[in-house]
Amino acid sequence: MKCRHCNTELELEFLDLGNAPPSNAYLKYDDLRKPEITYPLRILTCTNCWLVQTEDYAKADALFSEDYAYFSSTSKGWLKHAAAYCEMITKRLGLTADSFVVELASNDGYLLKNFVANGVPCLGIEPTKSTAEAAKAIGVPVRQQFFGKAVGEEMANAGEKADLVLGNNVYAHVPDINDFTQGVAALLKPNGVVTFEFPHLMQLIAQNQFDTVYHEHFSYLSLCAVTSIFEAAGLRVFDVEELPTHGGSLRVYGCITGADHTKTNAVDKLLLAEKKIGLQTEETYKTFQAKADAVKDEFVRFLLDAKANGKSVAGYGAAAKGNTLMNYAGIRPDLMPFVCDAADAKIGQYLPASHIPILAPATLKERRPDYLVILPWNIAEEVMKQNADLAAKGTKFVTAVPSLKVI
Ligand SMILES: [Zn+2]
């Protein structure tokens, strides 16, 4: 396989999590006795541009793109984050009723509704029908399609260039990252700004976040790799911020190469930090598998001990992270009898491969498990607050990453 950005042959393996089904391939009761399709889940590092990426599989893209039932508005923390971003960027760029904002992967309108409320013209581009419809229903204009170079050029030719293009947690999920970035370059006004937020590879490595790896997550991004991808598309990075979201993310600010945005000190400072921590050193990637295995082993040991001691265990959050951990660790309902999730679309279904049933959160109040494993550790605080009554009655909260923690 060749690097999706620079076409260099990929020879450096970062992580091998065995075979796994697509993380959103939830099962109905009738599916449980049928065979399941799994794909190797292997991550490779390009030693030329340092883009870390999933290994390619024929026809996998189509399988991974549909039936995505995640609605951003279900997370209160995420809504707050989006509102704060809109306030900040409106001030920083001086956005008004004469500006135009485009969000790529606008989901259910969780973010753009803030611009609509402030009278800043905006448009969401979102391929998934259910979320696009939800956005339209609250008055957010949406084009229902995938974004890439062709769409960016088409909009530019139609006089729809943007002052701000933004993408929060989409950049790492794009299969053809060069084409997507070229689309942004075409869509920006001469002095327009693009901001992307994505989980930072530096944190993935430092915090053992191997469970953020899944097939639909094509790229694991560093500022170094993004700088290279931007430059090839005629863009440049002029600022960067480190955010606590998703276990440590970056917000990168870019513009067209010739635009007059001044580069801040933060850019070179972070590039240097990435280099010092070893993001451009082969050894860093070669030693990660052992760290991931240690986290997995510790988690399995905890579940085995709980079972041996007669303690009851439940999981919280039926999402990609949990599926990666469950599958890699080989957990089945004997060690984790059920997980709870607030999303109506998932309740009554089963996690892929592990076949753990997904139940409504109210079940926790009835069964009161001794341990509640919070699978999306990035929202652990929110989940603990929501379930404070369980803690008062003796339930302990557990997170597995970066290392096992029982609270
Ligand atoms: Zn490369």
Residues 76 and 167 in one domain: yes
Report if residue 292 sits inside a domain: no
| Strands, E assignment, 127-281 | 142-143, 162-168, 188-199, 219-220, 235-243, 249-256
CATH at residue 330: 3.40.50.720
Note if the pTM is more than 0.85.
yes
- Which residues, listed in sequence order, are joined to residue 13 by a DSSP beta bridge? 44
**Do strands 358-359 and 249-256 pair parallel, antiparallel, or not at all (unpaired)?**
unpaired
Residue span of the structural domain in which 154 resides: 72-285
- Local confidence band at 306 (pLDDT 50, 70, 90 cut-offs): very high
| Dist. CA 285 → ligand 1 center (Å) | 15
pLDDT of residue 61: 55
Determine the distance separating the centroid of ligand 1 and the alpha carbon of 56, expressed in angstroms.
Answer: 14
Domain annotation covers residue 31: yes
- Residue 6 token pair: 């620079």
Last-in-domain residue among 243, 262, 285: 285
The rounded Å distance from CA 11 to ligand 1 centre is 11
**CATH code of 255's domain:** 3.40.50.150
| Per-residue model confidence as pLDDT tens digits over 110-131 | 999 999 999 999 999 998 888 8
Residues 235 and 146 in one domain: yes
Say whether both 41 and 159 belong to one domain.
Answer: no
105 and 53 in a common domain: no
Contacts of 292 (CB under 8 A, 6+ apart): 15, 17, 208, 210, 328
CA of residue 282 to ligand 1 center, whole Å: 14
In the predicted model, what is the mean pLDDT of residues 73-91? 91
Residue 5 CA, ligand 1 centroid: distance in Å: 5
Residue 231 alpha carbon to ligand 1 centre in Å: 13
Distance from the alpha carbon of residue 225 to the mean position of ligand 1, in angstroms = 8
In this prediction, residues 211-228 reach a mean pLDDT of 95
Q: With 0-12 CB in 10 A as exposed, 13-18 as middle and 19+ as buried, what is 157?
A: exposed
Q: What is the pLDDT of residue 327?
A: 95
Give the amino acid at 166. Answer: L
Q: Taking residues 232-260, report their average pLDDT.
A: 96
Read off the tokens for 386: 């929501």
pLDDT band at 60 (very low <50, low <70, confident <90, very high): low
pLDDT at 76 over 90: no
DSSP H or E segment with residue 303: helix 288-308
Domains held by the chain: number:
3
Domain for residue 125, yes or no? Answer: yes
pLDDT at 57 over 90: no
Whether 67 maps to a domain, the answer reads no
* 107: nearest Cα among 75, 83, 144, 72: 72
Centre of ligand 1 to C-alpha 314, Å, is 41
Residue ending a domain, among 251, 285, 319, is: 285
Q: How far is the CA of 229 from the centre of ligand 1 (A)?
A: 9
* Centroid of ligand 1 to alpha carbon of 238 (angstroms): 22
Counting residues of the chain whose pLDDT is more than 90, the rounded percentage is 87
Q: Ligand 1 centroid to 224 CA: how many Å?
A: 11
Q: Please tell me the distance between residue 172's alpha carbon and the centre of ligand 1 in angstroms.
A: 15
Clarify whether residues 225 and 372 are in a common domain.
no
Q: Is the pLDDT of residue 367 over 90?
A: yes
Average pLDDT estimate for 288-297: 98
24-51 confidence digits (pLDDT tens): 889 999 999 999 988 999 999 999 999 9
Co-location of 127 and 201 in the same domain:
yes
Q: 395 alpha carbon to ligand 1 midpoint, in Å?
A: 47
Residues 88 and 157 reside in one and the same domain: yes
Cα of 235 from ligand 1 centre, angstroms: 17
Same domain, 244 and 371: no
Residue 346 and residue 216 share a domain: no
Say how many Å lie between the CA of residue 9 and the centre of ligand 1: 8
Distance 13 CA to ligand 1 centre (A): 13
Cα of 236 from ligand 1 centre, angstroms? 18
**324 alpha carbon to ligand 1 midpoint, in Å?**
25
Q: What tokens appear for 258 in the block?
A: 């010739």
One domain for residues 56 and 79: no
Domain assignment present for residue 136? The answer is: yes
Instruction: Please check whether residues 244 and 181 belong to one and the same domain.
Output: yes
Q: How far is the CA of 2 from the centre of ligand 1 (A)?
A: 8
Q: How confident is the model at residue 197 (pLDDT cuts 50, 70, 90)?
A: very high
What is the average per-residue pLDDT within 205-216? Answer: 94
pLDDT of residue 210: 97
Q: How confident is the model at residue 205 (pLDDT cuts 50, 70, 90)?
A: very high
Compute, in angstroms, the gap from residue 78 CA to the centroid of ligand 1: 32
Whole-number Å distance, alpha carbon 233 to ligand 1 midpoint, is 14
In a domain? residue 240: yes
Distance 76 CA to ligand 1 centre (A): 37
Tell me the CA–centroid distance for residue 323 and ligand 1, in Å.
28
Do residue 265 and residue 147 come from a single domain? yes
**Domain for residue 360, yes or no?**
yes
Is residue 293 assigned to a domain? no
Measured in Å, residue 287 CA sits from the centre of ligand 1 at: 20
